[in-house]
Chains A and B, each alone.
Chain A
Amino acid sequence: MDDLVRAAQQGDAMAMSMLLAELGPQVGRICGAIALADGEDAAQEAMVAVFRHLRELREPRALRSWVRAIATREAVRVARRRTAAGGRELPEDLPAATDVETCADVRDLLGRLRPEQRAILVLRDVEGLEEQEAAELLGVARGTVKSRLHRARRAFRREWAR
């Protein structure tokens, strides 16, 4: 993987293509769950940002965490853009338990959350980050991550149990 990154950094398009394929699943998971219907747009914009700035990555072994941060930021930005462009108003808090119980699937449930809340869920439960790591990546206090996560997980647990 390190050799692939270095070759791509030197402008080898074949290496870039292989790296695109390698990173696709990770970027797709993050962008799909945060940006939902705009997931493909977010994934494309995240990949463009990754490859435009690839030369700035000094340590190839840090690639995955570097890409995670870029994908999360781009996905939240794209999802916010839709909200700002006239998407439906999202609640400040997570949905009530009764709402969650009638929720058809994960996509439906995620759609009731703000992009930032979806990002916390994805970073913790899909990417496996610690609370402190997720807080640093998102630029929020650890307590904020903790409280939002607790409520989101409670909602999800009900859904999972169905």
Chain B
Amino acid sequence: MSMRTDWPVAALDPVRRLRVLAAAVPGAVVRERLMDAPFDAVWSVAGDLEGGVPRFEPLVARARILWRHGDRLTLETTSPMRRRSRFDVELGTGWCLMQEQGRRYLVGMAAEPDPDDPRRTRFAHLEGVPRVLGRLAVPIVDLAVRNDLRGIERLARRAAARRGG
């Protein structure tokens, strides 16, 4: 029997993919926010690892891409206390997953235009300590995630205003 090609197919958007990872990784926290800025403005902030991340992530004073091949890269971050960390990164439009080498910390960001209003963006942010005692850090990580979401939206609105003006 020949196959028709128009069987309905379900696709997992980036926000749903991040929810799956959050459910799979112990100690991971994911929060979502409907941001009052268009997708391009939001991702110009969140997806700019060197220029954007240090502006909304208090624990990152500096970020530098050490290596890049396609959607894979290695990022080195420096904290305000000058602690350096290296992350393996998967970066695409609307998708960023960063795992610290040694799996000490995990960061994820996912974004897509709000289907009901393209001037807004659905954004999900994950952070976590995927270690045996990682769950103990959840309340602190949760605060950090909420803070980052507010920071990203604030910067994205500014970026959108600049583009509009």
A: residues with CB less than 8 A from B are 11-14, 16-17, 20, 24-25, 27-29, 31-33, 35-36, 39-40, 42-44, 47-48, 51-52, 54, 105-107, 110, 122, 125-126, 153, 156-157, 160
For A11, list chain B residues within 8 Å (CB): 25, 103, 130
Say yes or no: B21 contacts A35, CB within 8 Å.
no
Which residues from 24 to 42 on chain B have a C-beta closer than 8 Å to any C-beta of chain A? 24-25
**Chain A to chain B contacts (Cβ below 8 Å), 9 pairs:** A13-B25, A20-B17, A31-B10, A32-B7, A40-B11, A40-B16, A44-B19, A47-B12, A51-B21
* Smallest CB gap from A121: residue in B: B7
Q: Are A24 and B24 in touch, CB under 8 angstroms?
A: no
User: Taking chain A's interface residues, is the majority helix, strand, or loop, or is none over half, making it mixed?
Assistant: helix
Contacting residue for A51 out of B8, B12, B24, CB 8 A: B24
User: By the criterion CB–CB under 8 Å, are B24 and A105 in contact?
Assistant: no
- Asked if B7 and A16 make an inter-chain contact with CB atoms under 8 angstroms apart, the answer reads no
Residue ID in chain A nearest B88 by CB atoms: A14
CB pair A40–B24 under 8 Å, yes or no, is no
- The interface residues of chain A lying within 8 Å CB-to-CB of B97 are 13-14, 17
Assess whether B8 is in contact with A106, with CB atoms less than 8 Å apart: yes
Q: B52 CB to closest chain A CB, in angstroms? A: 21
Chain A residue numbers with a CB within 8 Å of B13 are 40
Total contacting residues, chain B, CB less than 8 A: 28
Q: Across the interface, which residues of B come within 8 angstroms of A52, CB to CB?
A: 23-24
Return the chain B residue nearest A124 by Cβ.
Answer: B1
Q: Is B9 an interface residue (CB 8 A)?
A: yes
Complex Cα gap A110–B7 (Å): 9
A13 touches B3 (CB 8 A): no
B72 and chain A: residue at smallest CB distance: A14
Check A35 against B10 for contact (C-beta < 8 Å).
yes
In-complex Cβ contact of B12 among A28, A35, A106, A126 (8 A) = A28
Contacts of B11 in A (CB 8 A): 24, 28, 40, 43
Q: Which residue of A lies closest to B106 (CB)?
A: A13
A11 vs B106: C-alpha distance when bound (angstroms): 11
Residue of B4, B88, B108, B130 with most chain A CB atoms under a 10 A cut-off: B4
Instruction: Decide: A24 and B8 in contact? CB cutoff 8 A.
Output: no
